[in-house]
Amino acid sequence: METNTVIYLGTLTILIGLIVSSFKLFINFKAIQFSKNKLDFVTRLSTSNQLLLILRTISFLVAMCFAIVSLYKIKSIDIESTKEFQSTDILFVVDVSLSMNAIDIRPNRLKRFQDLSLRLLPDLKGNRVGIIVFAGQSFSFCPMTSDLSAVSDYIQSLSVEMVGSKGTNLAVALERAEKIRKKSQNIQSNITVIVTDGEDHEKQSLPNLNGEVMVWGLGTEEGGPIEFRDPGTGKGGFVTYDSNLVDSPYGDNVIVSKLDADFLESIAEKYNGDFFNVSFYADGSYHLVEKIKSMKKNKIQRLEKFKNEAGAHPYLLFSFLFMVIERILSIGIQKKLPFKALLAIFFLFSFQIRLEAWELDPGGNAIERGNKAYHQENYKQSQKEFSDAKEYIQDDPRLMYNESANEYQMGNYKGSKELAEKILTHPKSDADLKSKANLTLGNIYTKLGQKENALKSYVESLKYNPKQLAAKKNIEHLTKKQNQNQSNGQGNGEHQNPNPSQPKNEKEEKQNSNPNQSEIDRILEPFSQDSILKNKRGGSSDNEKFW
């Protein structure tokens, strides 16, 4: 509804309200005068306090006037905001040559890629995605963007008629991909996904390509005929060697397109990447998601523009206050005051509940949502919530610990380790937080196979908090495993001296080739075996960090 229409209707409402209120005031005034002259009618006529009725009418009309004036005071301001987020750039280089219409994969190879990539998009949330298409030539079809809904539209628009030049020139497409990479020199985390069937590439000289590379093959080694249909008329058939169309896919002259898996594997080997045949299984898409999770993210700044409409708030506030006054006066002029008062209190509390629903603490709410997502093992969502919380809560070691724990669960041990080490040197960190940070470091070192550093970190964790049960169990687990390895070695006779003539120092060198047990004993010296946790009720979760 247009603003002028709203103003017209509001003015009409005020005029009608003014007429009705004047009539009620007149009737009430006459009733009061009649009751004074005819005392017998005092108990039979229902009248209101004239002053309260006048004030109520004035409050209502003033409230409506402020509401209409607020429509004139709305000012629209264009605001620009820079938002920083972390992402990986994924660039799909997609073959749209005629062979991608082969039906050895139903409905065809290109449709298979469209279906696979559309189902993959939700897992790519928070990253930037772009598409280059190629046949005899290439062009950038979808620019690098984090708007996955737009990427979805681009993917659904892929067809073999996009590139007018026939053939399959992968080299030209990869040169274009490298140009896009060079334009963003500060972008270090990127993956190029080459999607093709491998036909007609043998004589090409492929350029160098920076970043990670993955090759997705589409097709079968037995191959299949190439179907082509005019999207306008729907007429078509199967392509023959003399560039005609026939109705039967089994004709002698029908082209049969086959997957060249050996060539695609050589491409993956050239770029130190991985090759997956995604014709029937989605292993390639799963591997892509895991690859993205393990990569260090780029820090991207995005300029956002939006309109901020302001100026009406003071007038709406006054309108609301006068409406409240009108309701209070309305209660005052009624005879059934207790019931009306209870009704007013009910609405007041209802309004108060709605006020409490406002996000008065956006930073704290973001952390709460992040914690919930973490416990639901939705680590990408929790990472986003913690990143949003940093806009409101800065330089807080507790938030750093949440981020460190989340990075650990996502497999980014380097990032988790850096955050845990910052917590240990942070002036605001208390003993309990340092204990948890050391526990995190111990878990990271354990994952990396650095058992001695892991033991040291677990011991430091117990120094800050002797009741840290997870650290005790992890120490017990590592030392028990160490003792088992040593007992197995002795059982196999590794530390015996079967040759009496062998020099003693040579025997000691062999013993010292095993892990240094005295060093481990020194680390565990402050803790007797009795202090190691004996409770066996825990599971694998006991070896992870507390939240």
Predicted local distance difference test score (pLDDT) of residue 511: 43
Are 249 and 225 spatial neighbours (Cβ–Cβ below 8 Å)?
yes
The CA distances from residue 9 to 58, 64, 72, 126, in Å, are 19, 11, 14, 46
Residues 6+ positions from 178 with CB-CB distance below 8 Å: 207, 208, 209, 210
Predicted local distance difference test score (pLDDT) of residue 32: 76
With 0-12 / 13-18 / 19 or more C-beta atoms within 10 angstroms meaning exposed / middle / buried, residue 329 is buried
Structure tokens at 384: 């986003």
Predicted local distance difference test score (pLDDT) of residue 1: 53
pLDDT in tens, 119-157: 999 999 888 899 999 988 899 999 988 889 999 999 999
Nearest of 19, 113, 100, 87 to residue 57 by alpha carbon:
19
Predicted local distance difference test score (pLDDT) of residue 277: 94
Rg (CA), the chain: 37
Predicted local distance difference test score (pLDDT) of residue 506: 43
Are 332 and 130 spatial neighbours (Cβ–Cβ below 8 Å)?
no
Residues 6+ positions from 31 with CB-CB distance below 8 Å: 45, 46, 47
With 0-12 / 13-18 / 19 or more C-beta atoms within 10 angstroms meaning exposed / middle / buried, residue 480 is exposed
For residue 236, the surrounding DSSP H or E stretch is: strand 236-239
pLDDT along the chain (547 residues), means of 10: 70 81 80 70 64 83 83 68 75 93 91 93 90 91 91 92 81 89 72 89 77 93 88 81 86 89 92 93 89 78 62 82 84 58 58 46 79 87 87 83 89 89 89 91 89 90 87 81 57 39 41 45 45 35 32
Nearest of 288, 118, 294, 88 to residue 194 by alpha carbon:
288
Are 143 and 180 spatial neighbours (Cβ–Cβ below 8 Å)?
no
Q: Which amino acid does the sequence have at 165?
A: S
Buried b (16+ CB within 10 A) or exposed e, 46-76: ebbeeebbebbbebbbbbbbbbbbbeeeeee
Q: Where are the alpha helices (DSSP H) in 312-449?
A: 313-332, 337-356, 362-375, 379-389, 397-409, 413-425, 431-447
Predicted local distance difference test score (pLDDT) of residue 55: 85
For residue 113, the surrounding DSSP H or E stretch is: helix 109-120
Are 158 and 189 spatial neighbours (Cβ–Cβ below 8 Å)?
no
Predicted local distance difference test score (pLDDT) of residue 534: 36
CA distance 520 to 174: 53
Residues 6+ positions from 328 with CB-CB distance below 8 Å: 344
Structure tokens at 357: 């629903």
Predicted local distance difference test score (pLDDT) of residue 81: 62
**Torsional class of 417: left (φ above 0), alpha (ψ -120 to 50), beta (otherwise):** alpha
Predicted local distance difference test score (pLDDT) of residue 544: 33
Cis amide bond preceding 466, omega within 30? no
For residue 180, the surrounding DSSP H or E stretch is: helix 170-183
Are 20 and 56 spatial neighbours (Cβ–Cβ below 8 Å)?
no
CA contacts within 13 A on the Cβ side of 109: 31
Residues comprising the chain, all counted: 547
| Beta strands, E only, 254-333 | 256-257, 274-277, 298-310
